[in-house]
């Protein structure tokens, strides 16, 4: 019997789409706050009098908090429902940005980014858990991709528009207004969001610490969850690192482009993700058996893009940067395949926990890469070609681990089929797949 969290309807009603749109708007706020230092990094360095390593610490702290909170967020969403968690997320996001607006010391700014990271951490898993309750499986991948695309609206607002605001009204008015608007949106979520089509709040039963640990271990033992983690580890970190911190310094300090040109080039990441996400989500929703071959193809394209960028003699032309950034921009859309894997191979009461585990992957990679790049820039006197080799190393490591768990997840699916169980996606066997194990399987069934 399948444990997939499917709804009874084949398509979701308009009301579910409106509820999802309200929740996805929270994610849009979160992405804006998360990526605001991408173009404000140089302003922050001047305002707080810090160098490259200290600047990287802003992002490392925020993303580190985000990554550390993903599994607890999944547990909280399964326990209290996404509506309550989204409301708390908005409060943390708003307060964090207000604190950053008035900060004049590096220590206070670090606290503000930590608070922002906490609020950010509560958003995406909550939106996907909400989608799992409101949408059938065939629409889930599309809704996940659309959520990511809407998030990049916040990213787009944090590129050239934010650059112009920082140059005009300035640091404090810009970030203070952003924080206050975020706090005001809590009223909209409270009034409009429902955890399920039938109930406003769908809280799970109270669980002891041992129950939570058991739930986490069970989700981790599912090969599909591990595959989702390494898929999310490998696909989005190149895009995240460039957008969150090192894209503007690379283009301005490393390549010699003006700040306005660099901000416009960073918008390629946003536009590519916004357009590519829904198209990929719609296609994979119809052909889920192709999702992992597509991920492998994409990772090869990312490796080639970094090879071109880091080996180009002299200044990389705009005509080369745009297609390379377009490829990197698809990291977010491709990473959503990891969430589809978590949903397919876990029952609904465990989807939040499994989604949190998957979401850790990309932000662990982002945190490590951002910090190592900052350290290498300090050590090499600002040599971006050497520092950005970190991207290639991380990509190779993530791709290797992903391939290992892809084979294990495929084996689990074939074993389940041999036992006569229903599987979410039927796969075709290839020469590299191991023999089917009949009878009892030491690994847990993926369905």
What's this model's pTM, rounded to 2 decimal places? 0.74
Query: What pLDDT, on a 0 to 100 scale, did the predictor assign at position 303?
Result: 96
Contacts of 419 (CB under 8 A, 6+ apart): 438, 441, 445
pLDDT for the residue numbered 364: 87
pLDDT recorded at residue 182: 94
What whole-number distance in Å separates Cα of residue 417 and Cα of residue 426? Answer: 9
Q: Which residues of the chain have pLDDT under 50?
A: 1-6, 8, 439-445
pLDDT of residue 348: 75
Architecture of domain 14-200+212-418: Up-down Bundle (1.20)
DSSP string over 309-334: HHH-SSSPPHHHHHHHHHHHHTHHHH
Q: What does the radius of gyration of the chain's CA atoms come to, in whole angstroms? A: 21
Nearest to 160 by CA among 39, 243, 324, 33: 39
Distance CA 255, CA 265 (A): 12
Q: Please report, for residues 238, 327, 353, the alpha-carbon distance to residue 333 in angstroms, rounded to integers and kept in the order given.
A: 13, 11, 21
Q: Report the sign of the C-alpha dihedral through residues 102, 107, 113, 118, in that order.
A: negative
């Amino acid at each position: 019997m399948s444990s997939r969290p499917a709804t009874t309807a084949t398509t979701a009603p308009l009301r579910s789409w409106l509820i999802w749109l309200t929740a996805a708007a929270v994610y849009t706020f979160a992405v804006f706050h998360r990526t605001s230092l991408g173009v404000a990094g140089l302003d922050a360095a001047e305002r707080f009098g810090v160098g490259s390593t200290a600047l990287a610490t802003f992002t490392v702290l925020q993303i580190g908090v985000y990554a550390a909170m993903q599994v607890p967020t999944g547990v909280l969403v399964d326990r209290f429902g996404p509506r309550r968690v989204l409301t708390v997320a908005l409060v943390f996001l708003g307060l964090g940005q207000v604190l950053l607006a008035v900060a004049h010391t590096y220590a206070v700014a670090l606290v503000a980014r930590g608070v922002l990271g906490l609020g950010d951490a509560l958003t995406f898993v909550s939106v996907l858990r909400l989608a799992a309750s409101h949408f059938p499986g065939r629409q889930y991948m599309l809704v996940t991709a659309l959520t990511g695309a809407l998030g990049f609206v916040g990213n787009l607002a944090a590129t050239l528009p934010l650059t112009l605001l920082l140059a005009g009204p300035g640091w404090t008015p810009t970030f203070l207004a952003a924080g206050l608007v975020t706090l005001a949106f809590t009223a909209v979520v409270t009034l409009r969001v429902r955890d399920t089509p039938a109930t406003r709040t769908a809280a799970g039963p109270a669980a002891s610490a041992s129950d939570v640990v058991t739930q986490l271990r069970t989700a981790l033992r599912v090969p599909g969850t591990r595959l989702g983690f390494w898929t999310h580890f490998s696909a989005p970190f190149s895009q995240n690192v460039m957008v969150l911190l090192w894209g503007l310094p690379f283009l301005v300090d490393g390549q010699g482009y003006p700040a306005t040109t660099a901000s416009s080039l960073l918008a390629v990441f946003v536009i590519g993700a916004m357009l590519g996400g829904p198209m990929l989500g719609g296609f994979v929703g119809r052909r889920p058996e192709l999702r992992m071959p597509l991920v492998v193809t994409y990772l090869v394209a990312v490796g080639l893009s970094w090879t071109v960028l880091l080996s180009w003699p002299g200044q990389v032309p705009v005509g080369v940067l745009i297609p390379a950034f377009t490829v990197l921009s698809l990291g977010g859309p491709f990473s959503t395949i990891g969430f589809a894997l978590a949903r397919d191979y876990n029952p609904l009461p465990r989807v939040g926990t499994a989604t949190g585990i998957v979401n850790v992957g990309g932000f662990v990679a982002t945190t490590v890469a951002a910090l190592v790049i900052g350290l290498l820039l300090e050590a090499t006197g600002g040599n971006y070609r050497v520092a950005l080799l970190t991207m290639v190393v991380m990509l190779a490591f993530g791709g290797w681990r992903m391939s290992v768990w892809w084979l294990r997840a495929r084996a689990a699916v074939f074993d389940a089929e041999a036992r006569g169980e229903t599987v979410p996606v039927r796969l075709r066997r290839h020469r590299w797949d191991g023999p089917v194990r009949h009878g009892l399987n030491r690994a847990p069934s993926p369905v």
